[in-house]
Amino acid sequence: MKILAIESSCDDTAAAVVEDGREVLSSVVASQVPEHILYGGVVPEIASRRHCESISSVVKKAIEDARLSLEDIDAVACTYAPGLIGALLVGVNFAKGLSYRTGKPLVPVHHLRSHIASNYITDKNLKPPFLALVVSGGHTHLINVKSYTDYEVIGRTRDDAAGEAMDKAARTMGLAYPGGLNMDKVAFDGDPFSYKFPSPKVQDAELDFSFSGLKTAVINLIHNLNQKGEEIDVKNIGASYMHCVVSCLCDRTERAINMLKPDSLVLAGGVSANSVLRREMKILADKHEINLYMPELRFCGDNAAMVGAQAYYEYLDGNIASLKLNATAALDIDKKSNI
């Protein structure tokens, strides 16, 4: 089954064709990063406008790259939640138009479900159940993935997401958007023990995360150094900060491993590209003698191939939307669209 998938939840306009949830026939991503760099982060209104401008050509290219025509597509899928509402609406409405025009089923896909599914295209043998750590710009979740469409969130951030905390700290250090990615580039070989930051804890919720205190600590440190006219040691501060964020992610993940005793651990979301996180997760998985799955780097950030992968399993589960489908800015991963 060939699914044409569309992703527009944030600042990437993406389309892909994926066969049977595993084989990527094409994947096109039009990034808006160069424009959002000017503002230090994603400007929602600009993102929506750029999606409108590029979606036709991105979808056309995805079909052409797969050497198919629209008639060869068996279903149309789109990210419908969660994300920037104006941005999501562009992809949802384009997908609805295609579904109407072709008469092919419309499959709604939750953004975090698709991030997890990026592992199904990277490793064709991966099957639920497994434990997933989803770390993106807007979410940090530990999830018991019971089946392709059945999820139990067992831990979540109480405030900032890991990616958001990295982006804001990086911006204060003078690094360009996207901060997490640039911090990784600048600081991956810095000294992770050169600066001390608080180790964030959440009372009475041993699998939950909290990053806002850590973020404030690094921002205060940089403001202090700036006020004293001292140089900002971006490499070592960045390395120490990344070490703290990753330690916190590993600590909660290890508790979840001890609790669930899974056979496999799956990493997903934009932050799964982080070099320190990938290294430390490997050490953790080896320690507990469990399999570790991480997306190929090109499928860590937002893309439509992961949407096409998840859409196949949503379709098999009967999750097909009517043309009344609407975008939703916030929606838990275990909820379905009411369409």
Binding residues for ligand KG4 (CB under 6 A): 10, 136-138, 163, 166-167, 178-181, 184, 269-271, 273-274, 301-302
- What does the longest C-alpha to C-alpha distance in the chain come to? 65
113 contact partners, CB below 8 Å, separation of at least 6 = 149, 151, 310, 314, 333
Q: How far apart are CA 43 and CA 228, in angstroms?
A: 32
Q: How far is the CB of 242 from ligand KG4 (least distance, A)?
A: 7
Look at residue 253 and give the partner it binds from Zn ion, ligand KG4, none, a contact being a CB closer than 5 to 8 Å depending on partner kind.
Answer: none
**Which of 184, 296, 288, 203 is closest to 243 using CA atoms?**
184
- DSSP per-residue letters across 78-108: EEEESS-HHHHHHHHHHHHHHHHHH---EEE
Q: How far is the CB of 302 from ligand KG4 (least distance, A)?
A: 4
Please state at what angle helix 234-260 crosses helix 162-172, rounded to 10 degrees: 170
# chain residues binding Zn ion, by CB under 5 A? 2
The residue range among 56-64, 66-74, 130-138, 201-209 that interacts with Zn ion, by the rule CB under 5 A, is 130-138
Residue whose C-beta lies closest to ligand KG4: 270
Task: Output 302 or 314, the one with its CB closest to Zn ion.
Answer: 302
Q: How far is the CB of 274 from ligand KG4 (least distance, A)?
A: 3
**302, 325, 327, 333: which one binds Zn ion (CB under 5 A):** 302
Q: How far is the CB of 102 from ligand KG4 (least distance, A)?
A: 28
* Helix and strand counts by DSSP (H, E) for the chain: 10, 10
Look at residue 163 and give the partner it binds from Zn ion, ligand KG4, none, a contact being a CB closer than 5 to 8 Å depending on partner kind.
Answer: ligand KG4
**Which of 313, 303, 271, 277 is closest to 292 using CA atoms?**
277
**Which of 59, 119, 64, 139 is closest to 93 using CA atoms?**
59
- Does 136 contact Zn ion by CB under 5 A? yes
Q: How far is the CB of 11 from Zn ion (least distance, A)?
A: 10
Chain residues that interact with Zn ion, rule: CB under 5 A: 136, 302
